[in-house]
Structure 1
Amino acid sequence: MDGDTTARLAVLIDADNAPPGIGPALLAEIAKYGTANVKRAYGDWTGTSLRGWKEQLLAQSIQPIQQFAYTTGKNATDSALIIDAMDLLYTGRFDGFCLVSSDSDFTRLAARLRESGLTVYGFGERKTPKPFVSACDKFIYTENLQSPAVPAAAEPKSLASVTTLLRDAVNAASDDDGWAPLAYVGNIIVKQRPDFDPRTYGYAKLSDLVTATSLFETQRRAVGDGKPNVIYVRAGGHVT
């Protein structure tokens, strides 16, 4: 439901495995996909390890869920979050979930939520295990939220690593003349790689990344009725 701000989302944060500094940027990112009707952060709030998150709770209207560490080496926080997620799922009130953690323990939860027809957005650090990343519809690295994208050329190696992905998506979405709506290209890429994000390569938007490769033509087409122009792209190297 990208771009659909009416989607009802449940935001569940594993405070033990998410950096507290992302609070404002995290919710701003989530607002792109829908409305956060539930915002909960799980952890042992009696200690000092979550001090950074405590400062975010009131400011961001996030409900803290207390979970004591009953046994050393066992993560009771994960279990509490998973149980609450299933309870919220069964209410039938939500269109999607935002799971904020770098922990692979939530891989099966993400898969289960998607099996029920809900959209799952994952948020975690780049160290997040690939199985959890792949289990989500879309996965956003928190490093991209903490550091704004730099509108300068990314390293050639970084751009080279994404060129094939872009070409294949454009070919899959193109019409008989080779033109493809850029938004459709982006959707195809995310389905293949949930963690794809132009900010990873130093660009704020997909259109900026495509232009930086110098391998595609781009074209803005008027839609009419006061709607914004639609960007189309095809293999080439000229901008019109």
Structure 2
Amino acid sequence: MKLAVLVDAENTPAKSFDFIAAQVQPLRDVGIFRLFGDFASPSLAAWRQVAARHGLEPILQGSGGRGKNSTDIAMVIHAMDILHSGLFDAICLVSTDRDFVGLARRLRAGGLQVFGIGRAGVENGLESVADRYFHLPSVMPSPTRSPVAPELPAFLGHIASVHGVNGWILLAEAANALKQASPGLAERYLGKGRFLKTLRAADLISERKSARGLEIRPRLVVVASKSVG
């Protein structure tokens, strides 16, 4: 079974993405990672960049003059669709909003394990009803990253979910897959150690050495799922 991650982008800073990914990745395979908010707003420009970089799914929720309530409603609808799909056994709600306490209770009553992520020191009630709750750090760095084509992180996530073991794949296998799938990207990023240097500079991967060789894993691997919501 899989984990669905729903992020209230309107009250969660985009620079918290790395922390969020680091918490949810070990819990289960991530089948859905959705961002909710008015993405026409300049205030969510940073989240738009994060979504493009990591292949996340922004839910384009215009405020329509109704304020943040429309985003909350959209998150509730998607969460209930996930519950009734039967494809997931856990959900993570990323928000510092009291409005999701009732939703968390309903999801748990329906059989889902509920995780929460939000700001520390804010009484939002979600911490008391979630099976496990993670506090966002009070200070999060804004790392400087080298720009890459948005297709590259999306490709890495796909190849790791399809061919990797728990998201880990040999660097050489990823490079060969890139050659076959996208000669244009391969020409741009492969050769003379450029591939690994690019992935490191863009902070797209974790690394480990194994008996097979150097293995890499994208910061977040979203495993392909049937359409929900």
Q: TM-score, normalised by structure 2?
A: 0.58
Structure 2 vs 1, CA of residues 119 and 145 (structure 1 numbering), >3 Å: closer, same or farther?
farther
Match of 1:59 in 2: 53
What is the RMSD computed on CA atoms of the aligned residues? Answer: 1.7
> Which SS does the other structure have where 1:95 is aligned?
strand
Offset of residue 25 of structure 1: 2.3
- Counterparts of residues 112-123 of structure 1 (less than 5 Å): 112-123=106-117
Do 1:26 and 1:145's aligned partners in 2 also have CA atoms closer than 8 Å?
no
Do 1:67 and 1:80's aligned partners in 2 also have CA atoms closer than 8 Å?
yes
For residue 21 of structure 2, what is the amino acid of its counterpart? Answer: L
Match of 1:100 in 2: 94
Match of 2:2 in 1: 8
For residue 121 of structure 1, what is the amino acid of its counterpart? Answer: F
Do 1:24 and 1:60's aligned partners in 2 also have CA atoms closer than 8 Å?
no
Alignment partner of 1:90 out of 84, 94, 97: 84
- Runs of 4+ in structure 1 off by over 6 angstroms are none
Q: Which has the higher contact order (CA 8 A, sep 6+)?
A: 2
Do 1:39 and 1:61's aligned partners in 2 also have CA atoms closer than 8 Å?
no
Offset of residue 70 of structure 1: 2.1
For residue 89 of structure 1, what is the amino acid of its counterpart? Answer: L
**Mean CA deviation greater in 11-20 or 69-78:** 69-78
Q: TM-score, normalised by structure 1?
A: 0.55
> Which SS does the other structure have where 2:31 is aligned?
strand
- Equivalenced residues, count: 141
Match of 1:47 in 2: 41
For residue 116 of structure 1, what is the amino acid of its counterpart? Answer: G
Inter-partner Cα distance in structure 2 for 1:50 and 1:71: 17
Alignment partner of 2:73 out of 79, 92, 95: 79
Do 1:43 and 1:77's aligned partners in 2 also have CA atoms closer than 8 Å?
yes
Inter-partner Cα distance in structure 2 for 1:34 and 1:144: 26
> Which SS does the other structure have where 2:35 is aligned?
strand
> Which SS does the other structure have where 2:65 is aligned?
coil
Match of 1:23 in 2: 17
Percent of paired sites with the same residue? 36
Structure 2 vs 1, CA of residues 145 and 119 (structure 1 numbering), >3 Å: closer, same or farther?
farther
Do 1:104 and 1:128's aligned partners in 2 also have CA atoms closer than 8 Å?
no
Inter-partner Cα distance in structure 2 for 1:128 and 1:67: 25
Structure 2, unmatched stretches of 5+, are 142-229
Match of 1:131 in 2: 125
Inter-partner Cα distance in structure 1 for 2:139 and 2:24: 11
Structure 1, unmatched stretches of 5+, are 1-6, 148-240
Inter-partner Cα distance in structure 2 for 1:40 and 1:87: 13
Offset of residue 128 of structure 1: 3.3
Offset of residue 15 of structure 1: 0.2
> Which SS does the other structure have where 2:16 is aligned?
helix
Offset of residue 19 of structure 1: 1.1
Offset of residue 75 of structure 1: 1.6
- Residues 211-235 of structure 1 show CA distances to partners (whole Å, capped at 9, x for unaligned) of xxxxxxxxxxxxxxxxxxxxxxxxx
